[in-house]
Amino acid sequence: MSFYTVRVDIIIKRKLQIAAWYLVNVSHCSRKSAVRKIENIEKMIISLESDPARIPVMLGEPFHKMGIRRVTVEDYSIFFTIDDNAMTVDVFDIYPARSDFENELMKYM
């Protein structure tokens, strides 16, 4: 079995810290619950090293043409692309699942 290198932008790491703060201070989750949610998101990101193509390419243009994939975990959407030639997965953004992520993603186009 081949494994991919998962690359995570530093912005994603900061967004996860902000998400943890938000869960505790705004959503009034317990610290334990917030930590569990963030750990589940991190586990999903790490799991992309093995068979990342199990997550389908998003429908609709320009996302489909660009090979952008989306997986949702703990009410957050994780966006990434796969480079099979380089055996890499690039996690480039994360948004709350209910946000208007399409307009935010258009900033990358």
> Could you state, in order of their start, the residue ranges of all structural domains in the chain?
5-108
| Domain at 5-108, CATH class | alpha beta
Q: Residue 1: what pLDDT?
A: 66
- Listed in sequence order, the residues at least 6 apart from 103 whose beta carbon sits closer than 8 Å to its beta carbon are none
Exposed, middle or buried, 65 (CB in 10 Å: 0-12/13-18/19+)? exposed
Nearest CA-CA partner of 99 in 76, 79, 78: 76
Per-10-residue mean pLDDT of the chain, 109 residues long, equals 90 90 87 92 96 93 90 93 97 81 61
- Give backbone dihedrals phi and psi of 8, rounded to 5 degrees, phi first: -120, 125
The pTM of this model reads 0.86
Q: Residue 62: what pLDDT?
A: 84
Q: Residue 77: what pLDDT?
A: 92
Residue 45: enclosing H or E segment and its boundaries?
Answer: helix 31-47
Q: Residue 61: what pLDDT?
A: 82
